[in-house]
Structure 1
Amino acid sequence: MEINSAIVDTPPRDAATVVMLRDGASGMEVLLLKRNAASAVLGGAFVFPGGKLDEADAHPDLLQRLDRPLTELHTQLGEDDLDEDKAASLFVAALREAFEESSVLFAHAASDPILALAQARQQLSEGLSFTQVLQQGALTLHTHALVPWSRWITPLIPSVSTKRFDTRFFLAHAPTDQIAAHDNHETTESAWLNPRQALTLYWEGQIELAPPQIMSLSHLTRYDSAASAMAAARSRKPPVIQPEPFDQEGIRVICYPGDERHSRSERALPGPTRLHFRNRRFEPSGGLTELLG
């Protein structure tokens, strides 16, 4: 992973990410996908399913295929400056990206759900748009599955990219009757890992993670089940996390709310308040122990 020091003064692009959870033999697990090495954004890194908000995510037909009123989604997202359509479209984007990148479809079918899922996957592989897939299958998007968790806004100096995003992170309990799988296009590998296991693999150099994933996984080590993580997310407004990078003795440091160098003194996340880029990776002062809580 190379460090970017250039200022990116373009506005951040709206995006949505789904942190998919399940309970496994080793405790709560999270789905991670390895981005294609050729990708312009975090190529080769393990990420949560997600991507940019598309104009089509606000299509009126899609917004009519939601299982909750737009007012309710707007309230749950907790962003007063967004209109209802825009707030709802972020839920749509999260559900679309989950389907496109991991084959997991959070939707209700009017008829046989197994057949509907198989048909939807086949139609997507044939090039139909997400809107067309939902229309042909008469599917209703299951927004109840998503719980807003956090909001990450890329700083002017992105550190690990040359693009900026305003990404809403949602938690979701993975459906027990579906199998998640990478698409072999945008993502080339997939794995269900306990958050502590994922951070340990990162520390050992076996997988690559970007700072938002590192901090999010560190946060998830505080929960022993998917239900407890989602209950915690429901109990509070999603924190806004705007990392603030600086260079110290030739080392890139990214600090987070609550750090003595950050403009916000109140913590937004548990875990470390800053990461240092050493040994070609981001690590806190306290090493792996601090990441694992």
Structure 2
Amino acid sequence: MNSASSKNDFRLLVGKRSRKSLFMASAYVFPGGTLEAGDFSSRWWSVFETSRIYKADLLSKLGNINGPRPPMITDPITVKKAKIDGSFLPPDIALRIAAIRETFEETGLFLTFNRKSISSQTPTSDLDQTDVDLTAWREKVRQDPIAFVDLCLETNCCPDVWSLYEWWNWLTPTSLGPKRFDTMFYVYCLERQPKVILDNSEITNSKWCTPTEILEEHVQNKVFLAPPQVYELSRIKNLTSFSSVKDFAEKRQKHGIERWLSVQANCKDGSLILLPGDDLYPKIPELIGSKPIPDFPQTLSEMREKAVKINRIESRGAISIAISNVTSCGHLIPVTYTQL
């Protein structure tokens, strides 16, 4: 969202997870959630066609990527588990629909357009003047994700999938236990700040803030951010203007993305979260297993001084900072907190 700030002229929407959540309780996260079989439904083709968006054009627009593709795109588990037939949506589209649906459930933002406003990027919230009771629809969609198709057909609206730009893919490490997520991060740019109506179930608080503001609150121990959020906020911190965020995200997308699985190690004064490209990152990381976390007698600073290629997150208690001098897929190197 476009906004005024001394360091960034844009703001990001973050929400606080419920303290009752089984995973990352009370953490500030970006809107999103779980991919469902309904997000792959072939009924979505009818939604797009109603808005005169045809299959070939859609596939051409979202499939124009020359770089690496992660397993969640090339071999989606959801399709296998649900035994979805061959007419299902490609993962590039289904994942974006899931992101839009979950954002609607959590925040009330309806990131769609209709034929009358196809060039508009102003989403509808459930407090706006509409002919449809979006509050009731939110509950229907929570109960049955496929109801999101019905909502779009009734309102003649289409999910704005092509305005979601791939940013990066993170897989929860094995060290965090059995509950793991393979998560795609997208960037969606809005010219104006929309109304947010929380569900007060998954998300209990929200705010619009600059990357600098939320990172400063994190290192002051005022808010908790999970390591992937710290890393990606530190990346986007490089971009100081709203226009540069949109321009970079759109152009970078064609270079593809990698799936990152972090590997943890303990140090004398904290923990290391190692990422691909780092000197200490294993050649073949353990995707599934329970290898013990290695212990190093050195401090985090001492470990950093020894390294040549660095791509890691250093954590002391609940506070993390991203440190890197390597990059891939045309992406940004994160700005370390000491550089803010």
Q: Which amino acid aligns with 1:69?
A: L
- Superposition CA RMSD, Å: 2.9
* Residues 63 and 89, structure 1, Cα contact 8 Å, conserved in 2: no
* Residues 173 and 180, structure 2, Cα contact 8 Å, conserved in 1: yes
Corresponding residue to 1:108 among 106, 113, 132: 113
* Residues 105 and 138, structure 2, Cα contact 8 Å, conserved in 1: no
Corresponding residue to 2:137 among 116, 124, 145: 124
Residues 1:120 and 1:170: Cα distance change in structure 2 (over 3 Å): farther
* Residues 28 and 223, structure 1, Cα contact 8 Å, conserved in 2: no
What is the match of residue 276 of structure 1? 314
2:254 is the counterpart of 1:254: no
* Residues 244 and 255, structure 1, Cα contact 8 Å, conserved in 2: yes
- The alignment partner of 1:260 has SS state of coil
State the 1:258 CA deviation: 2.9
* Residues 106 and 145, structure 1, Cα contact 8 Å, conserved in 2: no
2:78 is the counterpart of 1:40: no
Normalising by structure 1, report the TM-score: 0.78
Higher strand share: 1
* Residues 36 and 185, structure 1, Cα contact 8 Å, conserved in 2: yes
What is the match of residue 90 of structure 1? 95
* Residues 218 and 292, structure 1, Cα contact 8 Å, conserved in 2: no
Residues 1:292 and 1:239: Cα distance change in structure 2 (over 3 Å): farther
2:234 is the counterpart of 1:218: yes
What is the match of residue 267 of structure 1? none
Corresponding residue to 2:61 among 63, 72, 93: 72
* Residues 155 and 244, structure 1, Cα contact 8 Å, conserved in 2: yes
Higher RCO structure, 1 or 2 (CA under 8 Å, sep 6+):
1
State the 1:132 CA deviation: 2.2
Q: Which amino acid aligns with 1:254?
A: I
User: Structure 2 CA distance, aligned partners of 1:91 and 1:64?
Assistant: 17
* Residues 120 and 133, structure 1, Cα contact 8 Å, conserved in 2: no
* Residues 2 and 193, structure 2, Cα contact 8 Å, conserved in 1: no
Normalising by structure 2, report the TM-score: 0.68
Q: Which amino acid aligns with 1:204?
A: Q
* Greater mean alpha carbon deviation, residues 45-54 or residues 115-124: 115-124
* Residues 171 and 181, structure 2, Cα contact 8 Å, conserved in 1: yes
Deviations 1:96-123 (A, max 9, x none): 1121112221211246996785626233
Deviations 1:8-67 (A, max 9, x none): xxxxxxxxxxxxxx1212122111000111111211000000111111101111244244
What is the match of residue 165 of structure 1? 181
What is the match of residue 243 of structure 1? 262
State the 1:81 CA deviation: 2.5
Q: Which runs of 5+ in 1 are unaligned?
A: 1-21, 265-271
Residues 1:64 and 1:120: Cα distance change in structure 2 (over 3 Å): farther
State the 1:142 CA deviation: 1.2
Deviations 1:221-278 (A, max 9, x none): 10012321232222332432222222234843201233221247xxxxxxx7222332
**How many residues are paired up?**
261
Identity %: 24
User: Structure 2 CA distance, aligned partners of 1:100 and 1:166?
Assistant: 20
Residues 1:54 and 1:116: Cα distance change in structure 2 (over 3 Å): farther
Deviations 1:122-172 (A, max 9, x none): 3324424322211221211111221111111222223xx642222111100
Q: Which amino acid aligns with 1:121?
A: L
* Residues 120 and 137, structure 1, Cα contact 8 Å, conserved in 2: no
2:168 is the counterpart of 1:179: no
Deviations 1:154-203 (A, max 9, x none): 22223xx6422221111001252732332211101000011011000011
Q: Which runs of 5+ in 2 are unaligned?
A: 77-88, 118-122, 142-146, 284-309, 325-334
